[in-house]
A and B are shown apart, each in its own frame.
Chain A
Amino acid sequence: MEFLLTHLLSLILFTPVAGAVVVMMLPREQARLVRWVTLWVSLIPLALSLLLWTHFQAEAPGFQFEEKAVWYEAVHSSYHLGVDGISVTMVLLTTLLTPLAILISWSIRQNLRAYMALFLLLETGMLGVFLALDLLLFFVFWEIGLVPMYFLINQWGSEHGEREIGGGQKVPARNYASFKFLIYTMAGSLGLLLAIQMIGSATGTFDLEEITLRWSTLSESLTLLGLPITLPIGTVKAIAFWAFVVAFAIKVPVWPFHTWLPDAHTEAPTAGSMILAGVLLKLGAYGFLRLVLPLYPAEARSFAGVLALLATLAIILGAFASWGQDDFKRLVAYSSVNHMGFVVLGIAAAAYARGTLAAADAVIAVNGAVLQMFNHGLSAAGMFLLVGVLYDRTHTRNLKDYGGLFPLAPIYGGILLFTAMASLGLPGLNGFISEFMVVRGTWPIFTVFTAVSMIGLLITGASILKGLKMVLHGPLNPKWAGHSLEINGREVVAMTPLMILCLAIGVWPAWIVSVINSTVLRLIP
């Protein structure tokens, strides 16, 4: 037990990869075996993170369950893991969503082992980002998460649809979406890499805790060998700040860097969309909280207004775009842009109000933002799951092809209503709590932006209700008369934890907010 507790993070981190290796060695024809082995393997990190959660002491300062080992000494990078209130929440989210995503992947037929192994590999990548306390390690896991997702979309994404690229050439939609996702995100990562290298050069280490100590007191310029030019440290910091911001802005995504998202979410297989929306987007927001705010308080403060503006635009435009969609999956995808806008608004408020009198409001805003990250993970994963359920049966995502399906699938309808309400922010469910906290926190700091973003809330309501109406209500679309579209037991089992959590957080958020709050209080002085 002692070993378990001292190496808990490494175990959580590497069990999925070990599982992936095991899965690849299973006999190819035994699809049932592959599915169940993957599912059971993915439950191990979940069990471990529940253990982590129960042993996590919210009141204790700093990082817990720290592990440090030699990794790449030659460049002063070590294998350094640790959790605080924010990352432990994200770890829980990741380890919860992965088994659910695997449970939803029962209908995958082609190259099942590779598919399952890629999911497990992806899980390790995402967990690594949340657990890493070394900049280089952070970057390594950040990149590692990209490749499996690329292949998941490219190989197992939606089979229909074509996009036209430059020169009139037509490519399958999933190829287009996966390539755009990869190149867009990698372009951002390039800046991140160069910035990390600069920081490593300037401070002589990649360890996050050491950098945070040294960075603010760093005053000597970065000298260039043999040239009479020196880069003043202010410039170095500014360049690194922008490089970080762009990389994370692409991932979150902050409007206008969001254009990869609708395509990637829509063309991905259902489980891929669940993880993409549920966890991957949070990596960007986490980067803002873990790296940008602590390392660049001054630059973040000057930029906070712009960030708040972009967040507001994401909220409003994302909602409008979602309202205008005919493709059910794209509607949900754009709603992700809207929801993440709230996260970014909260972060912007924190960037602005840190260390000022409005800091208390900023704390509420960031608490809301982190909770929104968790909540959106739940509701977005749920919505994509449900979209997938319908798609599996109807083979269309076009809202106009549906209509009046409630009687044909009453249980599905009920679950869809519930999840849609969580996504919409109905009081009593989780979305309301986080969005309220963000609004309450940012109102004193960015009053105008917050007020304007209320329009986004209204339109989100419109778009969600539109989706519900076109799917469930109205006259029954004769195409489906007599078909059985009802959700099956396995899918209900996958939805259940999400729904329970949505309700639990909506009615009694304290169990999670208290964990987040104690860390945020230290983040926002």
Chain B
Amino acid sequence: MDFPLLTVIVFTPIVSGLLILLIPGERKTEIRIAALAAATFALLLSLGAYIIYDRSLGGYQFVQIFTWIPQLGISYHVGVDGMSLPLVLLTGIVIFTGVLISWGIDDRPREFFAFLFVLASGVFGVFVSLDLFQLFFFYEIAVFPMYLLIAIWGWQVTREYAAMKLTLYLFIGSLVALVGGLAMYYTSGLGTFDLLALQEAGFSTAFQRLWFPFVFFGFAVLGGIFPFHNWSPDGHVAAPTAVSMFHAGVLMKLGAFAALRVGFMLLPEGARFWSPLILGLATVNVVYGAFIAMVQTDFKYVIGFSSVSHMGLVMLGFATLNREGLTGAGLQMFSHGVMTALFFAVVGVVYDRAHTRDIPKLGGFSKVMPLVAVAFIVGGLASMGMPGFSGFIAEFPIFMGLWKAQPVVALIAALGIVITAAYIMRVVGRVFFGKMPAEMEGHISRETALDRIALGVLAGILILVGVVPSVMAPLVASGADAVVRLLGGA
């Protein structure tokens, strides 16, 4: 297979974005259709990669390598394995549904979609990167459009503040990680940024223990690890719907994934040393995030903090350092990505019509948009780990892994599940059932057909993976095996 599949996947969005910029600004319908076409293309390509990947072979596939800046040992090196391929697919799904949800954007849709596609390219790039410099390069490409997207198209009340906070947090995080990355580059003596080479570099234990926190926490800021999660809820809330979908659905996975690829896989001794701390902090994510979600009155903040809580589960899975935990973490990244994209899409649909996100002011929405209510309930059930949905398929191995690693953490984190059930039920009951406030009666229109497609795709995936876990679990398990091997087998 000599077709540069991954390169096409990575660069199609940004190229499409640039082409979209050539369309005259007033031709909004053409812009939207072009964006949808490009997003559909990205989805089909990532789906194709997902299906063609040879599961029995495992390892990195669709690999391509070109020298880029040989003097510095930087190459263009791409490939996917069991951990990154679901995330590539996730990005395709989220960009597709995100474009559908953003059909109604009327203020400069051309620039909006162009920046969104730059973001998508950056994200794809990080997931497929097998060169450390390249990974950072695409990481920055993913972060900087966030500032513009939130500051220009976001919620007027907090958008500048949220955009600035988000970007600063993420840049500083990436700087810290870069310092760690450079330390590895210089110390390895290999003169290369290639991840596969650095995996064999044989860094000393002391080196690994010193630099792991730099790399891990630098990237995990984007993953939302406590106590560096603070940018996330504000960023989620201020962003326009599709950007929130991307942000929670994909970007936070980017951080966790980079922490895995660069932290765990290159500095396994450091990972082992620091895992108790990560377990502790991630537990705080899960439980504290859930409690905070429970007391929010803004619908979007509930979902934002729910993301913080669920990303905690991902990092718990990583920190178990065993096969089950890592498999669960990989599945959770995908499952939560889809689930949270669905949540934010629903929030967007409701907000567009109600013009408020204040939960006490909402109610009775299931009468006007029953399918949206069902989609949200599906997402809600997945989020509390209800069997039959992907959330359970993801959370179960994480807990299995936790039992092996640190049973006390399993017990405490289980509390998070109960709290999640409570706040999900609360939000569903208040927003979708009960009585619709009198001012809103008759003013709430039904969801559009495009909304329905987006929500249907997202809900369908949550059910599919939940009922037939074999479409994803074995693939992720093979990726987890590779990580476990680097960790020295656990």
Q: Are B387 and A144 in contact (CB under 8 A)?
A: yes
CB neighbours of A238 from chain B (8 A): none
**Assembled-state Cα–Cα distance A126/B67 (Å):** 60
Q: Are B399 and A139 in contact (CB under 8 A)?
A: no
Question: Which of A74, A222, A227 makes the CB contact (< 8 A) with B327?
Answer: A74
**Assembled-state Cα–Cα distance A71/B421 (Å):** 26
CB neighbours of A142 from chain B (8 A): 387
Which of A192-200, A275-283, A389-397, A435-443 lines the interface with chain B? A192-200
Mark interface residues in B401-414 (1 if CB within 8 Å of A CB, else 0). Answer: 00111110011001
CB neighbours of A186 from chain B (8 A): 418, 421
- A140 contacts the other chain (Cβ, under 8 Å)? yes
Q: Are A201 and B400 in contact (CB under 8 A)?
A: yes
Given contacts A140-B392, A143-B387, contact A187 B324 (CB under 8 A): no
Question: Which of A147, A155, A190, A225 makes the CB contact (< 8 A) with B381?
Answer: A147
Q: Are A190 and B403 in contact (CB under 8 A)?
A: no
**Assembled-state Cα–Cα distance A231/B422 (Å):** 32
- B19 contacts the other chain (Cβ, under 8 Å)? no
Listed by A's residue number, 19 A-B pairs whose Cβ atoms lie within 8 Å are A72-B469, A74-B474, A74-B477, A75-B396, A140-B388, A140-B392, A142-B387, A143-B388, A144-B387, A186-B418, A194-B414, A197-B396, A222-B403, A224-B404, A225-B404, A225-B405, A225-B406, A226-B405, A231-B407
CB neighbours of B71 from chain A (8 A): none
**Assembled-state Cα–Cα distance A224/B418 (Å):** 25
- A175 contacts the other chain (Cβ, under 8 Å)? yes
Give A contacts to B, CB under 8 Å. Answer: 70-75, 136, 139-144, 147, 154-155, 175, 179, 182-183, 186-187, 190, 193-194, 197-198, 200-201, 222, 224-227, 231
CB distance from B407 to the nearest CB of A (A): 6
Q: Are B410 and A143 in contact (CB under 8 A)?
A: no
Q: Are A187 and B418 in contact (CB under 8 A)?
A: yes
CB neighbours of B429 from chain A (8 A): 175
Question: Which of A72, A136, A139, A147 makes the CB contact (< 8 A) with B473?
Answer: A72
Question: Which of B276, B321, B425, B476 makes the CB contact (< 8 A) with A182?
Answer: B425
CB distance from B459 to the nearest CB of A (A): 13
Q: Are A143 and B386 in contact (CB under 8 A)?
A: yes
- B233 contacts the other chain (Cβ, under 8 Å)? no
Given contacts A73-B474, A74-B477, A197-B399, contact A183 B404 (CB under 8 A): no
Question: Which of A72, A139, A182 makes the CB contact (< 8 A) with B393?
Answer: A72
- B87 contacts the other chain (Cβ, under 8 Å)? no
Q: Are A183 and B387 in contact (CB under 8 A)?
A: no
How many residue pairs bridge A and B at CB < 8 Å? 85
Q: Name the residue on B nearest A136 (C-beta).
A: B396
CB neighbours of B407 from chain A (8 A): 224, 231
Q: Are A70 and B397 in contact (CB under 8 A)?
A: no
- B417 contacts the other chain (Cβ, under 8 Å)? yes
CB neighbours of B65 from chain A (8 A): none
Q: Are B387 and A139 in contact (CB under 8 A)?
A: yes
Q: Name the residue on A nearest B324 (C-beta).
A: A75
- B490 contacts the other chain (Cβ, under 8 Å)? yes
- B470 contacts the other chain (Cβ, under 8 Å)? yes
Given contacts A183-B421, A190-B417, A225-B405, contact A144 B470 (CB under 8 A): no
CB neighbours of A227 from chain B (8 A): 406
**Assembled-state Cα–Cα distance A226/B433 (Å):** 48
Q: Are B414 and A190 in contact (CB under 8 A)?
A: yes
Q: Are B421 and A194 in contact (CB under 8 A)?
A: no
CB distance from A149 to the nearest CB of B (A): 13
Question: Which of B276, B322, B405, B473 makes the CB contact (< 8 A) with A74?
Answer: B473
Q: Are A197 and B425 in contact (CB under 8 A)?
A: no
**Assembled-state Cα–Cα distance A144/B276 (Å):** 35
CB neighbours of A73 from chain B (8 A): 470, 473-474, 477
Q: Are B400 and A75 in contact (CB under 8 A)?
A: yes
**Assembled-state Cα–Cα distance A114/B203 (Å):** 60
Further contacts, 15 of them, CB under 8 A, given A194-B414, A224-B406, A226-B276: A70-B470, A72-B393, A72-B473, A73-B473, A73-B477, A74-B324, A143-B386, A144-B386, A197-B399, A197-B410, A222-B403, A225-B322, A225-B404, A225-B490, A226-B406
CB neighbours of B396 from chain A (8 A): 75, 136, 197
CB distance from B40 to the nearest CB of A (A): 26
**Assembled-state Cα–Cα distance A169/B1 (Å):** 65
CB neighbours of A139 from chain B (8 A): 387
Instruction: List the 6 shortest-distance A-B pairs measured between CB atoms, nearest first.
Output: A140-B387, A74-B473, A74-B477, A72-B469, A143-B387, A201-B403
Q: Are B403 and A197 in contact (CB under 8 A)?
A: yes
B residues 326-354 near A (Cβ < 8 Å) are 327
CB neighbours of B403 from chain A (8 A): 197-198, 201, 222
